[in-house]
Amino acid sequence: MNKFWKFGATAGLAAVLMAGCGETATPEEDVETPAEPPTEVADVEFPVTLTDAAGNEVVIDEEPGAIVSMIPSNTEIAYELGLGDKIVGVSDYDNYPEETADVEKIGGQEFNVEKIIGLQPDLVLAHESGLGVGDAGLQQLRDAGLDVFVVQNAASFDEVYDSITTIGQATGSMERAENIVSEMEAQVASIEELAATVEEPKTVFLEVGSQPDIYTTGSGTFMDEMLTLINAKNVAGDLDGWVSMDPEAIVAANPDVIITTEGAYVEDAVGQIKSRGGFAEVTAVKEEAVYSLDSDMLTRSGPRLTAGLMEMAQAVYPDVFNE
């Protein structure tokens, strides 16, 4: 185990130790909490008023005792905040931590409104990415008297920190949220500091989809920011967002490293990349630098993102980060 994984283990232990810190509800005092997380974190006093990503003002009268989480990233944040024993419903896609396997499933984008209402949650953590298709269902939940808070769609580490802090505000877990964010900031800084010692930055192609077209991640995304943090260059950095890229353009870019996130559900994802027409001449293929990394750790906007950053750094610069 290298020094960074030791650091990660320490962070996880710290998060566990943070569990158990409660907040005191003071219903007679109406405290309005700003949507922007404060720079100096104070304990939350309920009722709390927050404006969510849908533009709705949500008043949470007291510390939630039962929570439904509608997306895996929110769930991972909630568990890291020590709220696991309050989670009564999660989406069909939740698979981390292991305890989520035993929690009632409420569906995916097309969620089961009746089941959520039946779980009688004090707070429903929805997500900005589900707006549009889920608007009608969310309104039904509000009409049923449930507190629905739509968490922002985060596309950077700073926005992930905001999401963690906001969920901490909504659930009375601000102290734990502050510690989690501080740990993540320290981990990112340590990785960035070591990456700065790399004298010859590598070029990287990130493949997040291959059927029917090859999809990658351009500027304005987590993964592009991750490559910048580890001192690598995204060959698709001139493109915006999640975009398709022609195989011939990938070959022409000649990346030093190729990373796929499809290994969990595409058979021999690495082998399929290597066998594509023209790819045998790509540096990453010739030098056996095609890797499959955990998609969840790279794409879920939660506390595990720093572990995903470390995996990426180890894949791109094994001589630097595996010592």
Sign of torsion, CA 165 160 291 231?
negative
Please say if the pLDDT value at position 126 is more than 60.
Answer: yes
Judge whether 136 and 48 are in contact, CB under 8 Å: no
Evaluated on CA atoms 238, 299, 122, 164, the torsion sign reads negative
The CATH homologous superfamily to which domain 48-181 belongs is Nitrogenase molybdenum iron protein domain (3.40.50.1980)
Can you give the pLDDT at residue 117?
98
Q: Provide the greatest CA pair distance for the chain.
A: 70
SS3 205: strand
Tokens coding 17: 């130790």
The model's pLDDT over 185-222, given as tens digits with 9 standing for 90+, comes to 999 999 999 999 999 999 999 999 998 999 999 998 88
| Ranges for all domains in the chain classified under CATH 3.40.50.1980 | 48-181, 197-316
Sheet holding 57-60, edge to edge: 31-32, 48-51, 57-60
**CA dihedral of residues 104, 107, 112, 115 (deg, nearest 10):** 0
The 10s digit of each residue's pLDDT in 38-85 is 444 456 789 999 999 999 999 999 999 999 999 999 999 999 999 999
Options 3.40.50.1980, 3.10.20.600, 3.30.70.60, 3.20.20.60; which CATH number does 197-316 get?
A: 3.40.50.1980
As a whole number of angstroms, the distance between CA 267 and CA 263 comes to: 7
